[in-house]
Structure 1
Amino acid sequence: MKATLPDARTLSYRIEGPREAPCIMLAHGVALDLRVWDGFAGVMASDYRVLRYDSRGHGGSPAGSGSFTLDDLADDAVALMDTVGLAKVHFVGLSLGGMVGMGLALDHRERLESVAFCNARASATPDYRKNWEERLERVRQGGMEAIADATVSRWFTPEFPVRDPRAIAAIRQMVLATSVDGYCASAEALKGLDYERRLEGSSVRSLFLAGEKDGGAPPSVLRDHQRKTPSSRYAELPDTGHISVIENPEGFAAAILGFIREDA
């Protein structure tokens, strides 16, 4: 389905599950799309309304013209909620999607029942920005093909491609399907990541979910974020890399469900 937002842009989305049930909203990472949630959404949709969508320049959502910020992506999430008639959601964001969740928790807290920051850091270090500059240069020169294999390799533990080559092939296809404009604009937004200094001002019940072997959002970083964030808890998935919902789907679902239900 397509949602037309107030500025006339469109976002591709899917919504499923009982109409009157509490809603879980899912936001994916850069160079992925809403299909990364297929397994998780299938599990959740028996008891929850599940809304997932393609971020700007990913999947079926156009990149639009010009640049955008992480705050703009948070505004997109609010606009989509308004369009489909949702007052509040449990927001679950993976990587870039988790950073979108941080923006929501800090600036749109009235729209959240809870928020899960999955494999998502809150600030951009010099090395982090440098890595994005290098990836941007490769994509501008050679398209998404230039980074696809390195990206997929970085996202998972070395054992996972042997264990589930079909999942790896599906993720690689998502990377290749991402528009260059969408990837580059998202990467530029990530270079400006600066939510850590504001975490102590959050009042939304929050979960920081880490993968034990995630190099992009390491457990030590997420534990530090959690200590700074009121009303938050920390969970870690063993032997799991950056795209935790794919590499450890059972552990991911158990952690998210346990968190959402703990105060129900």
Structure 2
Amino acid sequence: MSVPQIKATQLSNAGPSAPVLIAGPSLGTSGTALWASTAALLDGFTVIAWDLPGHGNSPAAADGFSMEELATAVSRLVEAAVSAGDISAAQELHYAGVSLGGAVGLQLGLDFPSTFKSLAILCSGAKIGDADSWEARAETVRNQGTPAVLIGSAQRWFAEGFIEREKGASAALLHSLQDADRFSYAFCCQALAAFDVRSRLAEIQVPVLAVTGAEDAVTPASFAELIADGVPGGRSAVVPDAAHLVPAEQPADTAELLGSFFRTAQ
């Protein structure tokens, strides 16, 4: 196990004094495909989206990693951006992540409590699924590649009618899954298999917004409510007409929710 190397893409730039949103991906997606539409609508924020190992612009992982190590990778990414002058030390930092990226957000709240002013956890949970199912999916993808989970992912990711209505957005997301490194994807599944911070939510001291899509069968509203109830500064929200990839499915609603939350988070 080791801290993986990850890369990020700046999706918008609101200027040198603007707050910065570090946006995290869902398993199988690239940060750009998932977050570009929301970033374009999130006025007043610079948005930087990171990619999971072997997804998007990030190199494939040579070894497995834990959720703690993924959170460390994000923290190092932020530190490197500050050192390079891409982010000013004076700029306010917020985090939002979807599904696996949301789990990383909870881990960041536990392990790096002073890095982000607030956390938005979208379509995620303090524990997602069960270990046996994740291990089985990891084995399938290792042996058959990510195309083996393409149809199932499309069924989980999108609310009814989205693929037909938004052909470009859905194609970009499904292509990012098809192009993902199969071994890195499997390592992500194993990180999710071991992830469970339900008993530690009260340790997170920054404000947290837990968001779910009204049609999300993977991480339903009860998952968001558990986070909101467990974190001292937690709250939850439901986005209508969306399933598991809220920022891509409902970018206007997502931008409004996040912008309001980040601006009022204390």
Q: Is 1:204 paired with 2:206? A: yes
User: TM-score w.r.t. structure 2 length?
Assistant: 0.90
Would you say the 8 A contact 1:124–1:192 is kept in 2?
no
- Determine the C-alpha separation between the residues in 1 that align with 2:74 and 2:128: 22
Would you say the 8 A contact 1:149–1:172 is kept in 2?
no
Where 1:234 maps in the other structure, the secondary structure is strand
Would you say the 8 A contact 2:128–2:192 is kept in 1?
yes
* Higher deviation after alignment, 249-258 or 74-83: 249-258
The aligned amino acid for 2:194 is G
Match of 2:190 among 188, 191, 207: 188
Q: Summarize deviations over 1:124-145 as a string: whole Å, max 9, x none.
A: 45xx323323322321221111
Would you say the 8 A contact 2:118–2:265 is kept in 1?
no
The aligned amino acid for 1:115 is L
Name the structure 2 match of 1:242.
244
- Determine the C-alpha separation between the residues in 2 that align with 1:212 and 1:256: 17
Would you say the 8 A contact 1:10–1:61 is kept in 2?
yes
Q: Is 1:13 paired with 2:8? A: yes
- Determine the C-alpha separation between the residues in 1 that align with 2:153 and 2:265: 37
Point out 4+ residue stretches in structure 1 off by more than 4 angstroms: none
- C-alpha RMSD of matched pairs (Å): 1.7
User: TM-score w.r.t. structure 1 length?
Assistant: 0.90
Where 2:97 maps in the other structure, the secondary structure is strand
- Determine the C-alpha separation between the residues in 1 that align with 2:263 and 2:159: 30
Structure 1: gaps spanning 5 or more residues: 1-6
- Determine the C-alpha separation between the residues in 1 that align with 2:181 and 2:169: 21
Match of 2:97 among 90, 93, 98: 93
Name the structure 1 match of 2:36.
38
Structure 2: gaps spanning 5 or more residues: none
Name the structure 2 match of 1:140.
142
Where 1:111 maps in the other structure, the secondary structure is coil
* Higher deviation after alignment, 189-198 or 163-172: 163-172
Match of 2:24 among 4, 24, 27: 27
- Determine the C-alpha separation between the residues in 2 that align with 1:121 and 1:47: 28
- Determine the C-alpha separation between the residues in 1 that align with 2:252 and 2:192: 29
The aligned amino acid for 2:59 is P
* Higher deviation after alignment, 9-18 or 191-200: 9-18
The aligned amino acid for 2:204 is S
Deviation at 1:158, TM superposition (A): 2.3
- CA 1:58–1:224: 2 relative to 1, 3 Å: same
Would you say the 8 A contact 1:20–1:49 is kept in 2?
no
Match of 1:71 among 68, 71, 91: 68
- Determine the C-alpha separation between the residues in 1 that align with 2:145 and 2:30: 17
Name the structure 2 match of 1:113.
117
Name the structure 2 match of 1:4.
none
Aligned residues, how many?
A: 254
- CA 1:165–1:115: 2 relative to 1, 3 Å: same
Q: Summarize deviations over 1:28-65 as a string: whole Å, max 9, x none.
A: 11111121211122223x51222222122211211232
- Determine the C-alpha separation between the residues in 2 that align with 1:138 and 1:200: 36
- Determine the C-alpha separation between the residues in 2 that align with 1:124 and 1:243: 15
Q: Summarize deviations over 1:177-213 as a string: whole Å, max 9, x none.
A: 1101110110000001111110011111110011111
- Determine the C-alpha separation between the residues in 1 that align with 2:49 and 2:158: 23
Would you say the 8 A contact 2:138–2:187 is kept in 1?
no
Instruction: Report % sequence identity.
Output: 28
* Higher deviation after alignment, 81-90 or 204-213: 81-90
Where 1:109 maps in the other structure, the secondary structure is coil
The aligned amino acid for 1:111 is T
Deviation at 1:11, TM superposition (A): 2.8
Where 2:39 maps in the other structure, the secondary structure is helix
Give the 5 Å matches for 1:251-262.
Answer: 251-262=253-264
Q: Which one scores higher on RCO, CA 8 angstroms, separation ≥ 6?
A: 2
Name the structure 1 match of 2:126.
122
